Amino acid sequence: MKEKNKSLNMPVLVIGILIFLALATAIQQIPQSVQGIITQIEVIVATIIVITNKKIGIITAMVLFAYVIFGAALSLQAGNKMGIVAILTSVVTIIILNLIYFFLHKNEQQHAQLLKQYEEMMDSNRLMQEKDEALQTLAYQDEMTDMHNFVYFREQIENAIRQNTDFALIYMDLDNFKAVNDKFGPEVGDEALKIYASRLKAYCGTKYLCARTSGDDFALLLSGTPAQAEILHLVEQLRKVLGEPVSAQGVSNITTTASYGIVVSPRDGKDTDTLLDNAIFAVYNAKANGKDRPCFFSQI
């Protein structure tokens, strides 16, 4: 950007020098009554050179007025008393131009400092925002499966209750999954959980809120008041999603089922803890009655 500004000011610098030199040469050949006007034009040209070219401009202006002073000195030696006026005018103009440059330079420094502080502030805000987002991800995301975690799921339930929004909750607990860990090892179990989680996320998409709530437990949140038939249809689809065999860490044909506890708000509870407790209670009831099945808390 600075390179571009310098190149744009170069024509002003060159044209200003040519005009100034032409005026300085012509002033010796015109009547004294007009010389004052020519001197004022020289001052204006030099000021423009300084304003548009900053450091290069002030150096150029000082050289140009040094040339004027030199010519005036020669004129003074030749007996032209107007030479002293030209010298004094040039000296005063040089002082004024240096003051102009000083304030321009100081203003430019202040502007650069403010710009730097602004950029630092923006960088700081960006870093803080990135840290906040990272912390929020850690707080709301299950590290192993990249699903929403229990904290996030619970918060969404509380938000729905606060907004008087009806919803249904399906709590899922994989059946006998501990046997997978015991038989094949925790690495195989973790890999299998990741696959199940990936399948659930793909199936739920943006339609249902899905979360991993604990070790081998998952939960879904359904907005509105779905009919029992609709919930049972969804459970059947979940059974198909989880029923496909899994291959993990070289172990193939790992299969599992899940038990489903279902609660509907506000019928089965008016606060978060009650709804979750009732959903888990319904899961235990489903397991006690043969596993791999749904259980509505309202029907216990």
101-149: pLDDT as tens digits: 999 889 888 888 888 888 888 888 888 887 777 777 678 899 899 999 9
What is the pLDDT averaged over residues 170-176?
96
**Through-space distance between the first and last CA atoms of the chain, rounded to whole angstroms:** 74
87-105: pLDDT as tens digits: 888 899 999 999 999 998 8
Q: Residue 18: what pLDDT?
A: 92
pTM reported for the whole predicted model: 0.60
Instruction: Please enumerate in sequence order all residues whose Cβ is within 8 A of that of 65, keeping only pairs 6 or more positions apart, or say none.
Output: 46, 90, 93, 94
The two three-digit tokens of residue 281, written as one number? 């209670």
252-265: pLDDT as tens digits: 999 999 999 999 99
Q: What is the DSSP string of the chain?
A: -HHHHHHHHHHHHHHHHHHHHHHHHHGGGS-HHHHHHHHHHHHHHHHHHHHHHHHHHHHHHHHHHHHHHHHHHHHHHTT-THHHHHHHHHHHHHHHHHHHHHHHHHHHHHHHHHHHHHHHHHHHHHHHHHHHHHHHHHHHB-TTT-SB-HHHHHHHHHHHHHTT--EEEEEEEETTHHHHHHHH-HHHHHHHHHHHHHHHHHHHTTTSEEEEEETTEEEEEEES---HHHHHHHHHHHHHHHHS-EEETTEEEE---EEEEEEEETTT-SSHHHHHHHHHHHHHHHHHTTSSSEEEGGG-
> Which residue matches tokens 């707080």?
139
Tell me the percentage of the chain whose pLDDT exceeds 70: 96
23-72: pLDDT as tens digits: 888 877 777 667 788 888 989 999 999 999 988 999 999 999 898 888 88
